[in-house]
Copies of this chain bind each other. A is one copy, B any other.
Amino acid sequence: MKIDMTRYLPILTWGRDYNRSALSNDLVAALIVTIMLIPQSLAYALLAGLPPEAGLYASIVPIILYAVFGTSRALAVGPVAVVSLMTAAALSNIVEQGTMGYALAALSLAGLSGIILLTMGLFRLGFVANFLSHPVIAGFITASGIIIAASQLKHILGIDAHGHNLLEVVISLTQHLSEINWITAIIGILGTGFLFWVRKGLKPLLQRFGLSNGLTGVLVKTGPVAVVVATTVAVWAFGLADKGIKIVGEVPQSLPPFTLPSFSTELLGQLLLPAFLISIIGFVESISVAQTLAAKKRQRIDPNQELIGLGAANIGASLTGGFPVTGGFSRSVVNFDAGAETPAAGIFTAVGLAIAALTLTPLIFFLPKATLAATIIVAVLSLVDFSILKRSWNYSKADFSAVLATIVVTLTMGVEVGVSAGVGLSVLLHLYKSSKPHIAEVGQVPGTEHYRNILRHDVITTPQIVTLRVDESLYFANARYLEDKIHNRVAGDKKIRHVILLCSAINEIDLSALESLEAINERLNEMNVKLHLSEVKGPVMDRLEREHFLSQLSGQVFLSQFEAYEALKVLPNA
């Protein structure tokens, strides 16, 4: 068997046609993204409970590996807010933050997550992510954003606090509120305020000066760099570090180190579920960004190859001092808007970050943690969006319940329980709905061969024929319900001689349902009523032909409901 290498190594496709124009576009994009990523990487390391350099390391090798294996041309891979929060939540349950064991566990989490993603990709299991419904994701991102913002308040106020859900964080903040460090608070609040203004106020201002939409967008995204420079200089110049303000401190000048994650059985057991959830959430976030950007240039994203790309990136993160990564929304959009044409832009970004890790780290010695917290808060609050609650309330109470449960459980019990509750409830509600299917009695729309619900349309019916359209596949969860429904409809009406099951909406009949149909056929036969089927779909019919049911059926199977009705209405009424 010849393996198409370009499928597993997309770099072979875009690399072949690489030219000077793409090179210059990619270089410009890489420069802008690098500047934006320096503060963002440090901030997300802080959020994940890790030393700042881990954020830089997690952005270097992973971005290169994704460039080799990934299918998106614009996706930028690295630490992102929600996954960093989930990392902190997973690790804090196991080891104490700030210890070597914590950093080691972060490597293991990234490695495990990488293996999970890679395995899912190789076995083409990308569909698993589909079980995260859009409303559940929206609710989860909103709730996570709130928790992240709340958890960063401690850095803004210069106090100690902890917790991985909103309740814990708020209680802990309240308890330590008296220890507030006012200098930290002033820097934190000013920084946050400035960044909000950059988002809301600066963009219109720049546009009024005639700058293009794309360029203002990029400029606005580099706002954090300005705050970083200003507050670092202020702390250094006024000696604020001696006044209790917490700073980043010494960061090693080094390329990403070679690291080996721990794979002790106990640790793996504890990390397996969090790693799975991080993989799925990271994959869903990443693929959504990738598909949005690809659609704008009519490019194709292969979900299973994306799993491989993200898996490789996470394994890379675990081997080079990082932590779990995925394709980030804001960094990818900046990359795209700045004109990146190929994943080479990602490789150049990695080079830029490597240079920064080697040379610039002494410059951030005096960078206040409050500044990083401010950049996190402003970034995540843009994710918070409660409109999904209103929309789902209007459209479907089942979707609404799933969103509400996701938000409430995430806020009160943390990210892992929250997303599991959302997925679990969506699946249960879906099963519940299909366990009590809509069953319509239908009649002929006059002058057509078309049959519709007798309660909604003016249709023609005949007393001795009842046609029931079951609006659901028949399977174990609703098999008994159908038995009851048909029994109840026929038992009271002595005129009925024929029951036609209009099967146009029945996409599957499993063995439980087949046994129920046999029981229905037998019971109707005892009441001297014949059971017919119409419009049975090809795949369903194929399956029925493997069993005895069709030979036991008291009535016939008709290709169309019209044929069935025409044939049966002329039969003698006996």
A interface vs B, CB < 8 Å? Answer: 127, 130-136, 295, 391-392, 394-396, 398-399, 426-427, 430-438, 440, 445, 448-450, 452-453, 456, 471-473, 475-481, 504-508, 510-512, 514-515, 523, 537-539, 543, 546-547, 559-560, 562
Contact indicator A437/B507 (Cβ below 8 Å): yes
Judged by DSSP, the binding face of A is: helix
| Choice from B431, B437, B453 contacting A538 with Cβ under 8 Å | B453
| Choice from B450, B476, B537, B538 contacting A559 with Cβ under 8 Å | B450
Distance in angstroms from A135 CB to nearest chain B CB is 5
Q: A134-B515, A399-B511 are in contact. List 4 more A-B contacts (CB 8 A).
A: A127-B432, A130-B435, A134-B511, A450-B559
Copies of this chain assembled into the complex:
2
| Choice from B398, B434, B449, B543 contacting A473 with Cβ under 8 Å | B434
Asked whether A562 and B396 contact (CB < 8 A) given A130-B435, A391-B511, A456-B538, the answer is no
Chain B residues with Cβ below 8 Å from A505 are 504-507, 537
Residue on B nearest A483 in the bound complex, by CB: B291
Closest 5 CB pairs of A and B: A133-B476, A471-B507, A449-B449, A134-B512, A399-B511
Contact indicator A472/B507 (Cβ below 8 Å): yes
Contact indicator A511/B396 (Cβ below 8 Å): yes
| Choice from B131, B395, B437 contacting A477 with Cβ under 8 Å | B131
Residue on B nearest A515 in the bound complex, by CB: B134
Chain B residues with Cβ below 8 Å from A539 are 438, 471
Contact indicator A396/B510 (Cβ below 8 Å): yes
Contact indicator B395/A479 (Cβ below 8 Å): no
Q: List 29 A-B contacts (CB under 8 A).
A: A127-B436, A127-B477, A130-B478, A131-B435, A132-B476, A133-B510, A133-B511, A134-B479, A134-B512, A135-B511, A295-B523, A394-B546, A395-B543, A395-B546, A398-B510, A399-B510, A399-B511, A399-B512, A427-B431, A430-B475, A430-B510, A438-B537, A440-B538, A445-B560, A450-B559, A453-B538, A456-B538, A471-B539, A505-B506
A436 to B124: give the CA distance in the assembly, Å.
13
A435 to B125: give the CA distance in the assembly, Å.
12
Contact indicator B130/A481 (Cβ below 8 Å): yes
Residue on B nearest A132 in the bound complex, by CB: B476
Chain B residues with Cβ below 8 Å from A546 are 394-395
A505 to B537: give the CA distance in the assembly, Å.
10
A505 to B438: give the CA distance in the assembly, Å.
12
Contact indicator B523/A431 (Cβ below 8 Å): no
Distance in angstroms from A181 CB to nearest chain B CB is 43
Chain B residues with Cβ below 8 Å from A453 are 538
A181 to B280: give the CA distance in the assembly, Å.
58
Distance in angstroms from A401 CB to nearest chain B CB is 12
Contact indicator A135/B512 (Cβ below 8 Å): yes
Distance in angstroms from A479 CB to nearest chain B CB is 7
A199 to B411: give the CA distance in the assembly, Å.
62
Chain B residues with Cβ below 8 Å from A479 are 130, 134
Chain B residues with Cβ below 8 Å from A476 are 130-134, 136, 426, 430
Identify which of A135, A432, A504, A511 gathers the most chain B CB atoms within 10 Å of its CB. Answer: A511
Chain B residues with Cβ below 8 Å from A399 are 510-512
Contact indicator A543/B396 (Cβ below 8 Å): yes
Chain B residues with Cβ below 8 Å from A136 are 476
A391 to B515: give the CA distance in the assembly, Å.
11
Chain B residues with Cβ below 8 Å from A514 are 395
Asked whether A504 and B507 contact (CB < 8 A) given A127-B435, A430-B475, A562-B448, the answer is no
Contact indicator A480/B130 (Cβ below 8 Å): yes
Identify which of A392, A435, A512, A546 gathers the most chain B CB atoms within 10 Å of its CB. Answer: A512
Chain B residues with Cβ below 8 Å from A437 are 507
Residue on B nearest A433 in the bound complex, by CB: B508
| Choice from B394, B477, B562 contacting A547 with Cβ under 8 Å | B394
Residue on B nearest A127 in the bound complex, by CB: B435
Chain B residues with Cβ below 8 Å from A398 are 510
| Choice from B391, B394, B426, B448 contacting A560 with Cβ under 8 Å | B448
Chain B residues with Cβ below 8 Å from A436 are 127
Residue on B nearest A560 in the bound complex, by CB: B450
Distance in angstroms from A139 CB to nearest chain B CB is 11
Chain B residues with Cβ below 8 Å from A456 are 538
Residue on B nearest A480 in the bound complex, by CB: B130
Contact indicator A127/B481 (Cβ below 8 Å): yes
Distance in angstroms from A477 CB to nearest chain B CB is 5
Distance in angstroms from A434 CB to nearest chain B CB is 7
Contact indicator B473/A472 (Cβ below 8 Å): yes
Chain B residues with Cβ below 8 Å from A471 are 507, 537, 539
A395 to B514: give the CA distance in the assembly, Å.
10
Distance in angstroms from A499 CB to nearest chain B CB is 17
A453 to B504: give the CA distance in the assembly, Å.
12
Distance in angstroms from A294 CB to nearest chain B CB is 11
Residue on B nearest A137 in the bound complex, by CB: B512
Contact indicator B131/A431 (Cβ below 8 Å): yes
Residue on B nearest A514 in the bound complex, by CB: B395
